[in-house]
Amino acid sequence: MITHPPFFFESWYNVGRSITLSVIGFAALFTMLRVSGKRTLSKLNFFDFVFVVAVGSVFAATITSKDVTLVEGIAALATLIIIQILLAAVAARSRTAERIINGEPTLLLSHGRFLPSALKKEHVTEEEVRAAIRATGVTRVEDVDAVVMENDGTLSVAWESKKPGETSLVDAKVPDEARAEQRSKRVVR
């Protein structure tokens, strides 16, 4: 005779175990995230997204799986948080490591002109860029110096300043088509 596990209810012990592990696991996760700092909870770049998914998966397994003990779950969560802290520290000390871990911003529009190869690579439409421009209160695309897709997926809109100083676009990945346009403008001037 084939037996199936109960669908709705097995025992009060299992219900109590789930509640207890949820409360203790949540308290442990909350404490570890508070200790790890605000960066852990900042806007998510690719690395942070992977971290959050992994933490969620470990937390879920800890509170629902009979095969994972509370101590094993907390150890796994602590390990993930330590890895995140260490990689963030490495990224803060090395520009190359930062680009590998976090990626780099990508220029999508330069001097009022869309950069089709960058839009295609980042899977962004011209309409999404226009919406970001409108959100800043600018009505003409031609008035925008640059639109950059940041590491966390947000679109930043910049317009040219008349004041001298370092540009905020210094670390943005510039597609070849924008470089060619910039070179031709230098020759014409």
| pLDDT tens-digit series, residues 64-110 | 888 989 899 999 999 999 998 899 899 999 999 988 888 889 999 99
pLDDT of residue 129 exceeding 50? yes
Q: Strand, coil or helix: what is 48?
A: helix
pTM over 0.75: no
d(CA 92, CA 82): 15
d(CA 153, CA 122): 9
Strand order in the sheet with 155-158: 113-114, 106-110, 146-149, 155-158
| Average pLDDT of the residues of the chain | 83
Q: Which CATH number fits domain 104-188: 3.40.50.150, 3.50.50.60, 3.30.240.20, 1.10.1200.10?
A: 3.30.240.20
Half-sphere exposure of 70 (CA within 13 A, CB side): 13
189 band by pLDDT with thresholds 50, 70 and 90 = very low
